[in-house]
Each structure stands twice: as structure tokens, then as C-alpha cells.
Amino acid sequence: MTSDSNVNTTASFTVCVLLWARQGYEEDLVSYEDQVLRLLADHDGEVLQRVRTEYEPGQPFEVQILRFSSESSMQRFVDDDRRLSLADLRHRAIERTDVLKVKIV
């Protein structure tokens, strides 16, 4: 998303999401994330950065920096029925997820 979004950067809630793919299911992780990240705008959220690692053992496959207008807007995204309906795909594709609250410096 572009920097001219409706997210208020002065009172925003920013997280770093680290995603480990199940071996052999990397493309399913990408498919799942492509689908759920499209929902962010409905919850006053945006992707600041989305990258994939060289994917060596022990490293996450994908890292995202996401910004929301508030912690409650992030929770609404997490609880979104459209996102929850993809739980089977998520479980098949993603071995581990770590979410860290961060500040952009």
C-alpha cells in the first residue's frame, strides 16, 4: 500500500510478523498471505514491507511489517471471519508465527 493511506502514523500500532512455512508448503503460505493481507484495508491496516528470506533452516520464510490504526483494529483483522475461513490453508502451510510489537526508527 502507499504512504497516503488512511492509517494515522502518529497513533498507530505496528507489528513485525515472522512466518515459518511447513516444508514443501511455501507456495501455500504465499497464497494464504496474499489472501489475508488483502483484508488489512478493511481494518485500518497496511503492509509497510513484505519480504522473503533466503530460507535457511531455522529462519522464517516470510517477514512482514504491518501497521494498524490501533491495537483494536489489528484484533478485528485477526478475528475477521473471512480470514478465519482460511484456517485449513493456514494450518497446512504455516508451521509457526511470531508477532512482535515494534516501532519504526
Average pLDDT over residues 13-35: 97
Q: For residue 86, give every residue at least 6 positions away whose Cβ sits within 8 Å of its Cβ, in sequence order, or none.
A: 32, 35, 36
- Judged by DSSP in three states, 91 sits in helix
Residue in 92, 95, 97 with CA at minimum distance from that of residue 21: 95
Domain boundaries along the sequence of the chain: 13-102
Q: Is the pTM of this model over 0.85?
A: yes
What is the tens place of the pLDDT at every residue in 47-87?
999 999 997 888 999 999 999 999 999 999 999 999 999 99
CATH architecture of 13-102: 2-Layer Sandwich (3.30)
For the chain, give the percent of residues with pLDDT over 90: 86
Cα–Cα distances in Å, from 72 out to 42, 68, 82, 87?
Answer: 13, 9, 17, 21
Cα separation, 103 vs 105, in Å, equals 6
Question: What mean pLDDT value characterizes the chain?
Answer: 91
Pick 38 or 7 by higher pLDDT. Answer: 38
